[in-house]
Amino acid sequence: MEKEKKNETGLMEKIVSLAKRRGFVFPGSEIYGGLANSYEYGPVGVELKKNIQDEWWRVFVRERSDMVGLDSSIILHPKVWEASGHVAGLVDAMVECKACHTRTRADHLIENHYEAKGAKISVEGKTEAELDAIINEQKIKCPNCGKFDWTPVRKFNLLFETHVGIVPEAQSKVYLRGETAQGIFVSFKNILDSTRVRLPFGVGQLGKSFRNEITKGNFIFRTLEFEQAEIEYFFDPEETDWKTLYEKWKGDMWKFVTENLGVAADSLRWREHGDEERSFYSKRTEDMEYKFPFGFKELWGLAYRTDYDLNQHMKFSGVDMQYTDPTSGKKFVPHVIEPAVGVNRLMAMVMLNAYTEEGERVYLKLPPRLAPYKAAVFPLLANKPALVDLASQIHSRLQKKFPVAWDDRGNIGKRYYAQDEIGTPFCITVDFDTLGDGDEEKKGTVTVRDRDTGTQERVHIDKLEEFLHGKIYY
């Protein structure tokens, strides 16, 4: 373990470069000069992201008998966002540089200014006038052009607007969802009526959310569109102690990040929201934070949202959203605890955590379950048909069970290098011994090289599937 080294210097730049070079994440709309805060997930990136989503779904939905899943619409009735408070409340304070027209969030501008001076400040809850005063007092310059010439701070809404139908009129205005959570509240009654769920139970949903984010940078940490993985866990506050339930969820979230995603516990911490930061309807909110190269930042939020959302939707829709206890007949609006995470942030963390340098060697030490390819198959030489034919047969056979890469370019060293950088846990080489041209005992066996140790062992072709299965889905 000693020889493994995580070189923190320039780690973010290294990840961004590797992500592009190897096909994890590309800058958005690059051929048109790019679009800030948007990215494309390349051939291996889409696999890694999907594997993280699948792992979340498996652990929090499929393998729990107190959870069900949902896939609601991105475009919901506009009243949903009035009821939820997003139309009035999902706002950020912004300033614009009059010289170069860069727009930036006032809180980020101030916090970054203090951070550069080695100080920490939170401006959560401050009014526009108070933010203006700090910017002017500190003479904070534009991070883009260096001038000090800002417009006054003003609030803007993060919800993306669009129109249903061909004529954009006020009545046809809708929003792209700002969180997946509201879809769960809107479908709550249908879930109750169509399934046999009984409190306490949760509804999990994975899907895209959209926010008009203006702060640039930090790779896929904050983007215009992102995948959320959210749970609304409903319970009767008279039967279930919310504090105990809340602690239980903290434990489940921590376990998922450290065990399923393999992230080092010393790069994680909990941070509780203060009164000025916490939403007015939440009784307690805590963020699990990860130590990104740009500081400890929110990864996964946990909030006790009480019965606020269901009550709001009852009020705005006029539909009764109460739960009737099947034993006592008691009718009430359930309370809810919400663990909400962004999959893209999880992916950034997984890549940063996995990045390992060992001398000249660079590899992503991804948990095998998350790796885009579980193995790669090579013929030792690309110009020997017997080696290529057999390797190709092995590749096709394994491909029916696992995502498996193929490479016959360059020398073996280069192929290892390329697979290491995308985190492929095992490289399988068909050589002359496999064909029976060397040591008789090795006939029918291939070399399997382990990504993390670099060691090689010979495994019989017939045992390969079992071997990989045992190592990947242990």
- Cα–Cα dist 336/185, whole Å: 10
Q: Which residues contact 326 (CB under 8 A, 6 or more apart)?
A: 198
What are φ and ψ of residue 72, in 5° steps?
-95, 175
| The binder of ligand GAP chosen from 179, 286, 420, 431 (CB under 6 A) | 179
Residue (38 or 138) nearer to ligand GAP, CB: 38
Question: Among residues 157 and 424, whose Cβ is nearest to ligand GAP?
Answer: 157
Strands 426-430 and 375-379: parallel
Residue 230 binds ligand GAP (CB under 6 A): yes
Size of the site for ligand GAP (CB under 6 A): 19
Q: Which of 205, 215, 228, 312 binds ligand GAP (CB under 6 A)?
A: 228
Residue of 45, 334, 342, 423 interacting with ligand GAP (CB under 6 A): 342
Cα gap 390→385, rounded to integer Å: 8
Separation of alpha carbons 47 and 187, rounded Å: 30
Nearest partner of 148 among 161, 135, 157, judged by Cα? 135
Using the contact rule CB under 6 A, the part of the chain among 53-61, 93-101, 219-227, 430-438 near ligand GAP is: 219-227
Closer CB to ligand GAP, 176 or 181, in the complex: 181
Shortest distance (Å) from residue 29 CB to ligand GAP: 17
423 touches ligand GAP by CB under 6 A: no
Are 260 and 254 contacting, i.e. CB atoms less than 8 angstroms apart? no
107 binds ligand GAP (CB under 6 A): no
Task: Tell me how far CA of residue 10 lies from CA of 13, 194, 293, 401, in angstroms.
Answer: 5, 52, 8, 38
Q: What are phi and psi of 191, to 5 degrees?
A: -65, -45
Q: Which residue is nearest to ligand GAP (CB)?
A: 342
Residue selected from 96, 111, 213, 421 as contacting ligand GAP according to rule CB under 6 A: 213
> What does the angle CA 162 – CA 166 – CA 169 come to, to the nearest 5 degrees?
60
452: nearest Cα among 474, 429, 412, 419: 419
What residues have CB less than 8 Å from 159, skipping those under 6 apart?
81, 86, 87, 90, 175, 176, 178, 210, 211, 212
Name which position in 150, 226, 308, 373 contacts ligand GAP (CB under 6 A): 226
By C-beta, is 308 or 416 nearer to ligand GAP? 308
* Segment lying near ligand GAP (by CB under 6 A), choices 51-59, 117-125, 342-350, 433-441: 342-350
Q: Does 300 bind ligand GAP (CB under 6 A)?
A: yes
Question: By rule CB under 6 A, what string of x and - marks binding of each residue 345-384 to ligand GAP?
Answer: x---------------------------------------
Binding site for ligand GAP (CB under 6 A): 179, 181, 211, 213, 222-223, 226, 228, 230, 298-301, 338, 340-342, 344-345
